[in-house]
Amino acid sequence: MQRRQFIKAIAASAIVWPVSTLAQQLTPVIGFLDPTSSALQSDRSRALRQGLKETGFVEGENVAIQYRWAEGQYDRLRVLVADLVRHPVAVIVTGGGTPTALAAKSATETIPIVFVLGFNPVQFGLVESLARPGGNVTGVTVLDVELIAKGFELLHELVPAATTIGVLVNPNNLLIEAQTREAQIAARNLGVHVLILNARSQSEVEMAFTMLVDQRANALLCYRRAVVLRHSEVTTRRTGSPPCGSNSISVSSVHSSWRSDGLRDQSGRCDRITGAYVGRILMGAKPADLPVQLSTKVELAINLKAARALGLTVPPSILARADEVIE
């Protein structure tokens, strides 16, 4: 009797164990690659999960996400994406712009890739066209370089006495030449001087603010989310409190993730679209057939608390145009 029970138990485990293992193996895995830190991207990953949920996928239930963060070290991107390819993952989502998308594309021609970019992806050969991407890559592209002129106009209206405006840029961005050119044109049109300052590390951010004070700049355009967010504590300290003192600098940011005065793109919307695209791919859609989405809507958010800390009075003309006023 005991022998028969033992045989039945073995037979049952032989049936149940493979089924359980198979279920785990069938759960799709998404690879998420970003050059920044997980601490800085909670809003983005939340929007991504929301987009996935809209297509029926919930992290931890019927889909898994493997996150890879480069912590600001762009030379790690190729290593991290190679690890995702070996894992393997069903789809790769890239954040942080051009370098991340190119690293993913160079790592695989078969695994679908969904990006969020600030330029025309055709320009760098990521897709064949916006309408028919072809290959294994698609995603969302947002206004980026075009926002520089708007950022200058906003700062000039906010601080009309400013004669020198600084711009923080990320030298790792492949669009650095276009960004610099647009900043110089915008500054010339407004009759102000511009300081182009590299800010890919904390030491460079500190050096940038030292130069801003030395050059008596009193306005700063914080450009490229990957740079500003990673060192936002330094940026806030150096712009709004001693040791700047009377040299406090008015700040405008062109991205929503850093809550200052300025223009922002629809980052949450873009990440939701990304999540929805990933969900569609998991259900069988091909990236080649999913057109690249172009996000053209820009919001104006005004942080009155930050403005008061800097001793600024926001003109009614700006407040009237604001999509969001942060008290």
84-131 pLDDT, tens digit each: 999 899 999 998 788 899 999 999 999 999 998 877 899 889 999 999
Instruction: Tell me whether residue 20 is in a domain.
Output: yes
Least confident among 32-46, 115-129, 184-198, 302-316: 32-46
Q: Is the pLDDT of residue 147 over 80?
A: no
**Helix-helix angle 42-54:267-282, to 10 degrees:** 40
- Do 53 and 78 lie in one domain? The reply is yes
Domain that holds residue 204: 147-253+299-326
- Do 83 and 229 lie in one domain? The reply is no
Instruction: Tell me whether residue 261 is in a domain.
Output: no
Whole-Å CA distances, 63 to 16, 54, 67, 286: 22, 13, 13, 18
pLDDT of residue 52: 95
Tokens 């991407």 correspond to: 133
pTM: 0.69
- Do 67 and 107 lie in one domain? The reply is yes
Distance CA 109, CA 104 (A): 9
**Phi, psi (degrees; rounded to nearest 5) at 138:** -155, -175
Closest CA to 115 of 136, 140, 91: 140
- Do 7 and 118 lie in one domain? The reply is yes
Instruction: Tell me whether residue 258 is in a domain.
Output: no
Q: Judge contact between 279 and 249, C-beta under 8 A.
A: no
- Do 165 and 216 lie in one domain? The reply is yes
Residue scoring higher pLDDT (83 or 17): 83
The stretch 59-81 carries a mean pLDDT of: 92
CATH number at residue 100: 3.40.50.2300
- Do 92 and 137 lie in one domain? The reply is yes
Instruction: Tell me whether residue 24 is in a domain.
Output: yes
Instruction: Tell me whether residue 122 is in a domain.
Output: yes
Judging by DSSP bridges, how do beta strands 298-303 and 262-265 pair with one another?
antiparallel
pLDDT of residue 267: 60
- Do 138 and 164 lie in one domain? The reply is no
Whole-Å CA distances, 42 to 34, 71, 177, 275: 12, 14, 30, 14
The mean predicted confidence, pLDDT, of the chain is: 78
- Do 30 and 126 lie in one domain? The reply is yes
- Do 129 and 8 lie in one domain? The reply is yes
Write the pLDDT tens digit of every residue in 233-263. 444 444 443 333 333 455 554 443 333 444 4
Q: Judge contact between 228 and 197, C-beta under 8 A.
A: no
Closest CA to 195 of 172, 229, 228, 218: 218
**253, β-bridge pairs:** 222
Least confident among 96-105, 115-124, 271-280, 294-303: 294-303
Helices and strands, number each (H, E), in the chain? 12, 13
pLDDT of residue 326: 83
- Do 173 and 121 lie in one domain? The reply is no
Q: How many domains does the chain have?
A: 2
Question: Is residue 196 within a helix (H) or strand (E), and if so which, with residue range?
Answer: strand 193-198
Instruction: Tell me whether residue 99 is in a domain.
Output: yes
- Do 129 and 235 lie in one domain? The reply is no
Residue scoring higher pLDDT (267 or 271): 271
Q: Is the pLDDT of residue 68 over 60?
A: yes
- Do 221 and 131 lie in one domain? The reply is no
Instruction: Tell me whether residue 260 is in a domain.
Output: no
Instruction: Tell me whether residue 47 is in a domain.
Output: yes
Q: Is the pLDDT of residue 149 over 80?
A: yes
